[in-house]
Structure 1
Amino acid sequence: MELLQELSSRNYPLYVFGWISLIGTIACMFMSFYSPTEVNGISAWIKPTKFFLSTFIFTWSMTWYLGYLKQTPAISIYTWLTIAVLAFELIYITLKAAQGHLSHFNISSSFNGFMFSMMGLAISLMTLATLYIGILFFIEPLPDLPTSYLWGIRLGIILFIIFAFEGGLMGARLAHTVGAPDGSPGLKFLNWSVTHGDLRIAHFIGMHALQVLPLLGFYVFSSSRGIIIISMLYLLLATGVLVQALMGKPLLKRVTKSELATHH
């Protein structure tokens, strides 16, 4: 397939890691159906499924974007740092799921607290490194890219970084639910609370600006002004969802029991 060949040529290590993440997604999804192990009332394998899937999307997105930049040693360092950080996180999350234990917000022992802190430190380093990549898109000449697409990449990376660090708010609170303990009723798979505020929603929306804004910049908007305006509206959306969560209000209230699953 032409798209896969192009991805492979742009950044082969991240391309391969994306395939590994996709395989991990399928494996953990399979385990979620057949393993009896639960955490907070739902399959322990839902969380690693979501993390493998988001890693797959992130790595292939960055594989594509990095192909536009000069292939300097800094790009190679970023590539292997990203792989190391995400591999560390995915392996630990999967091991804790297999044990039926929380990976995040788990300070039940000195070891669990240390590993939680290490995950936070590692992902912060990777996020800062991604900021460097975003800066390169501002300073490197990229005349072959449509201006609306280039601004979509720039602003997508910026919003990704802002809302990646929003995860630190959850870490500081040792919870993602506002107004109730983690484990309240939530939407299926996503498990976003339908009874209280949930900080993961803004985290999700903001970080996926990394895909949404470049796609809009390439396929929908033909001017930099258009993509900048829609990016500001996207920022307002993610910020509004964050404020709503901090007020303890759910994004979507309970509808029917068949549409709900126990919150992660």
Structure 2
Amino acid sequence: MSAAPHALRRQVAQWHRPLMLFVASMLVLLAVSLAGLVLDDRVLQGAPVWLKPFKFAVSLAIYGTTLAWMLSLPHRGRRWTSGLATVFAVAAFVDVGIVAVQAARGTFSHFNDTAEPFEEAVQRVFGLGVMSMMLANLVLAIILTVQRVGPDRAASRAIHAGLLLAVGGMLLGFLIPFQGKPHTGLTTDGVPVPLGSGHSVGVPDGGPGLPITQWSTTGGDLRVPHFVALHGFQVMLLLALLLAWLAARHPILRDERTRARLIGVAALGYVGLVALVTWQALRAQPLTSPDLLTLGAAALLAGLTTVACGAVLTAARRGGGLATPADARRGGETVTGAGQAGPRPRSR
């Protein structure tokens, strides 16, 4: 009964070490942030001062674990992907460290235009870290999307789509400083700080927001598309897991080509969702208060995605796309690690 957990622990112990050390540091920050949320009643721009480090710790712990698992799968160019992942881990550690230190100081980690030498240096390092993370992910995505990675076609397509969505999410993060307007914020001590930009559209930052995320409920918020796209990586992988699980119960899904096509349709639909919430935010519209135009676009997107999924399943039925015995055996496989059976990378 205990063999499976031991095997999983052995696999995790072999995952990319810098990334897993980074994930461990995020778990430590998560604990510190939770303590801060309970014990520190300071507020910065309408939110508890430790809420931002908490959100960064959760998001990047999930992302770092996903990336470490993916790199454990057989693929070409491991030296390059390992080096790029190390760059990502170091840059992310530095940037999240800045977020935590600035939170402890009761001041701003983002868009801080204070002329003091220390704050200027912090902002330069922070900006360099953001750029390093984005470029490392971009090159890593290029290397992995030109080859098959994962136990089957569906998992490989989910990884490719997820990586590209994550890179898109990082690029969307650059939209925030470009559209935001300079304004003044107050530190927890009430000291005015010039801020070069902001994430809200049509309303000032720091207004009413959703619990935990603090996404604006009175105007647009560009953190929404940034978050949705960035974590499309996990959504695509969960979808691949779900389809693999359903394949054991529904013969039509035992053909990995059918599952891969469904992943492709879902990825396109997800891109449409990212575009939709970006458009909504840029129109100064809260995520929680869509107008009829937004609702109509969402309904059209859902309808087209549903029709496309139906077309894939219909084509599978008409083509006699029920799996061969070998496909059926693969249909029950799940996307859990490098030790599973599955196609190896294409020849070098």
Distance in 1, matches of 2:148 and 2:232, equals 23
Normalising by structure 2, report the TM-score: 0.68
Aligned to 1:220: 243
Aligned runs of 1:140-151 on 2, under 5 Å?
Answer: 140-142=147-149, 145-151=151-157
Aligned runs of 1:1-80 on 2, under 5 Å?
Answer: 1=5, 2-68=7-73, 69-70=75-76, 72-80=78-86
Stretch of structure 1 that moved more, 194-203 or 117-126: 117-126
> 1:197, 1:245 within 8 Å by CA — same for their partners in 2?
yes
In the TM superposition, residue 191 of structure 1 has moved relative to its aligned partner by 0.3
1:193 pairs with 216, 225, 243, which one?
Answer: 216
> 1:155, 1:213 within 8 Å by CA — same for their partners in 2?
yes
Structure ID, larger Rg: 2
Distance in 2, matches of 1:135 and 1:145, equals 19
Asked if 1:179 corresponds to 2:184, the answer is no
Aligned with 2:163: secondary structure? Answer: helix
Normalising by structure 1, report the TM-score: 0.89
Aligned with 2:286: secondary structure? Answer: coil
Aligned to 2:172: 166
Aligned to 1:251: 287
Asked if 1:242 corresponds to 2:278, the answer is yes
2:234 pairs with 211, 226, 236, which one?
Answer: 211
> 1:196, 1:248 within 8 Å by CA — same for their partners in 2?
yes
**AA in 2 matched with 1:189:** I
Q: How many pairs were matched up?
A: 252
Distance in 1, matches of 2:120 and 2:201, equals 22
**AA in 1 matched with 2:100:** T
Distance in 1, matches of 2:38 and 2:20, equals 28
Aligned to 1:260: none
Distance in 2, matches of 1:140 and 1:233, equals 23
1:133 pairs with 103, 124, 140, which one?
Answer: 140
In the TM superposition, residue 130 of structure 1 has moved relative to its aligned partner by 1.4
Aligned to 1:96: 102
- What do residues 45-102 of structure 1 show as CA deviations (whole Å, max 9, x unaligned)? 0000111111101110000011113463323321321121011111111111011101
> 1:149, 1:215 within 8 Å by CA — same for their partners in 2?
no
Q: Percent identity?
A: 27
Distance in 2, matches of 1:141 and 1:183, equals 45
> 1:7, 1:60 within 8 Å by CA — same for their partners in 2?
no
Gaps of 5+ in 1: 254-264
98 and 137 in structure 1: CA distance in 2 versus 1, 3 angstrom threshold:
same
Aligned to 2:335: none
Stretch of structure 1 that moved more, 80-89 or 118-127: 118-127
In the TM superposition, residue 206 of structure 1 has moved relative to its aligned partner by 0.5
In the TM superposition, residue 113 of structure 1 has moved relative to its aligned partner by 4.4
> 2:201, 2:219 within 8 Å by CA — same for their partners in 1?
yes
RMSD, aligned CA: 1.8
Aligned to 1:258: none
In the TM superposition, residue 110 of structure 1 has moved relative to its aligned partner by 4.9
Aligned to 2:248: none
- What do residues 94-123 of structure 1 show as CA deviations (whole Å, max 9, x unaligned)? 111011101101112254345334323322
